[in-house]
Amino acid sequence: MFCFGQENVEDWLTELGLDEYWENFVQSGYTEPRMLEDLKVMNKETLKETFRIIKPGHLEKMYKAILKVQYPTEGRLLLS
């Protein structure tokens, strides 16, 4: 799971084995961890087009990982 404030987007992609898409994230403007929360509203087709993900297995892996992204609320930050 990706928890904002602990990693960066490039590290997250590397951990998923999808670091080859880092440049596509940069070109699309998704370089900050807080931005990943916005990806949850994208369907697979939009993800595919936005980040130019051709391999179905990579698309599925990224889609599932995005659904697990959690942005800590102020309350969670105060508890840590």
Task: Give the model confidence (pLDDT) of 10-62 as tens digits.
Answer: 999 999 999 999 999 999 999 988 888 889 999 999 999 999 999 999 999 99
pLDDT at 75 over 90: no
Q: Give, in order, the Cα–Cα distances in Å from 57 to each of 5, 26, 45, 52.
A: 28, 21, 13, 13
User: Whole-prediction pTM value?
Assistant: 0.78
Is residue 45 within 8 Å of residue 56, measured between CB atoms? Answer: no
**β-bridge mates for residue 4, sequence order:** 7
